[in-house]
Amino acid sequence: MAETYIVTGAAGFIGSNFVKLALEREDARIVALDKLTYAGNLANLSGAQDNPGFEFVKGDIADGPLVRKLLETYQPSAIVNFAAESHVDRSIDSPACFVETNVTGTFTLLEACRDYFFGATAPRHFRFIQVSTDEVYGSLGSTGYFTEKTPYSPNSPYSASKAAADHFAGAYFATYGLPVLITNCSNNYGPFQFPEKLIPLMILKALEAQPLPIYGDGRNIRDWIFVEDHCLGVMEVLKRGVPGEKYNLGGNCERSNVEVVDAVCAVLEDLFPASENPAMIQGGVVSYLDLKSFVKDRPGHDRRYAIDASRVKNELGWSPGHEFNEGLRRTVKWYLDNLDWCRDIRSGKYRMERLGLPGEK
């Protein structure tokens, strides 16, 4: 009998990729829960909606009665919590909604799952997967890596809200015995990512011959992971991870922001040369690299993240399957092939403007 998973944040970037992989590879029944905020989009679930094992529910993870009803109705063997406000710049401008979703929402899910798990209907192998970020660990120096034992030291309202959610999740295991597992991932990239994040923002701005804004000196370093690899890692933790434990999921791929922008420009030049781009021709710009522009840094900008993912490799056999250049090429090609999706995304309030500079509107 197929497992039933409730996947929260299922219409977002990572959640939608996870849903489609789970339907394809696990023959799972998926109940997709999403509030459909600015970054949640039913179009992200194209294909999944035709699967008989898929059902979509519009709703908020902070709605306790709704969550309890879903648990009672579907009796899932897992909740996989991708639901989150996730953009650091937005958290600088409007931290309250990050607390509401990331902290209160996670708490609401945990409370509902506590009653469900210790009731009469939950499968004994039920799991709660808290999907988190490496940003909770704070900033690294020029050497070293985040491990599962690294103390939390968040530096933005976003990372602070995720750290709080992780602590609640861990406390529900320690205090109540709720079978919680936590994953902390590095920077994701790939299809369906909302264009406020670095890689899709650079792609779409370059296509329009707009300046490519790079924060500070561009030397802030992140560890990059292709979204499909991350989702497969979450699946392994769901199936074989040990309740109460944390697992770091990293791409083993450190790149500075300026290196990422340079790589995006190189792939664009190969797939859609500047000499063939009407916007570039009209603007008199010869190369995508000429669009690079260094701008005022983000407040509290962490200098370096790097994940040690050896535990999940050694214990669960997972490792990332995509090298950065390969994954980036797939990503750029997806955006080039899906410009209608990009236009629809930008038909709302978001216009790829700069966020996260307090006092500067």
Integer Cα distance of 84 and 89 in angstroms: 14
Is residue 305 part of the annotated active site? The answer reads no
Q: How many CA atoms lie within 13 A of 291 on its CB side?
A: 30
Active-site residue, selected from the candidate residues 5, 158, 172, 288: 158
Question: From CA 162, how far away is CA 159, in angstroms rounded?
Answer: 5
Q: What distance, in Å, lies between the first and last C-alpha atoms of the chain? A: 54
Catalytic residue flag (residue 89): no
Backbone angles phi, psi at 248, to 5 degrees: -85, 130
Pick the catalytic residue from 60, 135, 166, 196. 135
Given the residues 34, 89, 134, 302, the one annotated as active site: 134
158 is catalytic: yes
Strand partners, 32: 7, 56
Residues forming the active site: 134-135, 158
